[in-house]
Structure 1
């Protein structure tokens, strides 16, 4: 069972301050024969949530470049949606919650980053 559109989240009230931790896992597509391909389907990141008081996992589509922010960098998730997957059991159902988002960006950045630290080019001195 799945919610039709997921639950739209007020990210400030639900998560509060978010800090980047790490890439948790990559999910790969399957080939027609059932083997795992090398094509990434989605990536899940660990973020520290002040309001939740614990680590949360947020999944992004593979079309979003790999995120490599500094540890504990303040981040913001774009358009988060919570959804569930329920599996029937003999005693009712087991429900798993997950969070998906369009992107994770550094706090205060209006647009998505490419996920890499900016490089500082060495100054060129004229001699």
Structure 2
């Protein structure tokens, strides 16, 4: 079974309170010759999840500026999706889960990236 759009998550029930830890890694694009470029594709952050009882990793696109919040600052993830990657093995397959989101923001503050969304026209603007 393949879930092309991933699994939509009820983030409050799945993760509970999230606290920022650190940038874990940056993933870089590859050049045509297969070498690694200097252009960042996505960034993965470590977040502490109260509901999971452990650290989770959440990746966001590189189009979002680098997130540098205080350690243990309460954060929110925007539009999280879970998905899997399976690799065939001699005994079957190894499956790894990953979480992607549109953004990571401080809890209670609007996402600066969402402020760029087009606004609906009012009747007097039409």
Verify same fold: TM over 0.5.
yes
Q: How far is 1:2 from its partner?
A: 4.7
Q: Is the 8 A contact 1:18 1:76 kept in 2?
A: yes
Unmatched runs of 5 consecutive residues or more in structure 1 = 114-127
Partner of 1:45 in structure 2? 45
- Number of residues paired by the alignment? 113
Distance in 1 of aligned mates of 2:3 and 2:89 = 19
Partner of 1:77 in structure 2? 77
Distance in 2 of aligned mates of 1:97 and 1:104 = 19
Partner of 2:9 in structure 1? 9
TM-score (norm 1): 0.86
Q: Is the 8 A contact 2:103 2:111 kept in 1?
A: no
Distance 1:30 1:86, change over 3 A: same
Q: Is the 8 A contact 1:87 1:94 kept in 2?
A: yes
The DSSP-based 3-state class of the residue aligned with 1:14 is helix
Distance in 1 of aligned mates of 2:11 and 2:5 = 17
Alignment RMSD (CA, Å): 1.2
